[in-house]
């Protein structure tokens, strides 16, 4: 995975989940906040990250930095959709993403919707299968987007012309 230079990008971020986590120690309980954040430029680049800290703003800052380190590029077609359907898996969550015709919009649940919108996809359908843990759904959606292929890449890997692949 190549690192993406995020310094020149105008990134939007969306906090997907904030959880208070507790660690029981000898002197009592330690409270921290675990945050999952999705960042994207709305033009094909998207990333997700998590952070944990005693204060929420610090946790969000850490999560944004983590998300910037894990940016991916999403290939999109002329309808701002994807080329083919795909299934992404993370732990016990699965997310099925399907291309949709022009004018459909983003049809997806909360955590998957955040990833798809910040990736710049305008016409897409997604269904979360299995566990609905927000962190895992975000990871599964990123995984599904990461493994997408362009028709040109498929044609090149099969040693055929693009017209043969598209029919």
Q: What's the pLDDT tens digit per position in 137-164?
A: 999 999 999 999 988 888 889 888 888 8
pLDDT > 90? residue 8: no
Name the pLDDT band for 10 (thresholds 50, 70, 90). confident
Q: What's the pLDDT tens digit per position in 43-99?
A: 999 999 999 999 999 999 999 999 999 999 999 988 889 999 999 999 999 999 999
The model's pTM is: 0.90
Average pLDDT over residues 100-116: 92
- Of 29, 24, 34, the closest CA to residue 58 belongs to 34
Task: Read off the DSSP letter of residue 116.
Answer: H
- Exposure pattern of 84-97 as b/e (b: 16+ CB <10 Å)? eebebebeebbbbb
Domains of the chain in sequence order:
12-72 (3.30.160.20), 75-154 (3.30.230.10)
Q: At what angle do helices 110-118 and 134-146 cross, to 10 degrees?
A: 40
């Amino acid at each position: 995975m190549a690192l993406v230079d995020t310094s020149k990008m105008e990134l939007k971020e969306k906090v997907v989940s904030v959880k208070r986590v507790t660690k029981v120690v000898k002197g009592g309980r330690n409270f921290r906040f675990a945050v999952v954040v999705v960042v994207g430029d709305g033009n094909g680049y998207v990333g997700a990250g998590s952070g944990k800290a005693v204060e929420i703003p610090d946790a969000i800052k850490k999560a944004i930095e983590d998300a910037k380190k894990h940016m991916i590029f999403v290939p999109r077609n002329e309808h701002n959709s994807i080329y083919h359907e795909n299934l992404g898996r993370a732990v016990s969550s699965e997310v099925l993403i399907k291309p949709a015709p022009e004018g459909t919009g983003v049809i997806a649940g909360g955590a998957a919707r955040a990833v798809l919108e910040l990736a710049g996809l305008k016409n897409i359908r997604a269904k979360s299968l299995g566990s609905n843990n927000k962190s895992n759904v975000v990871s599964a959606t990123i995984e599904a987007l990461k493994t997408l292929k362009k028709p040109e890449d498929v044609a090149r890997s099969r040693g055929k012309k693009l017209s043969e692949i598209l029919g």
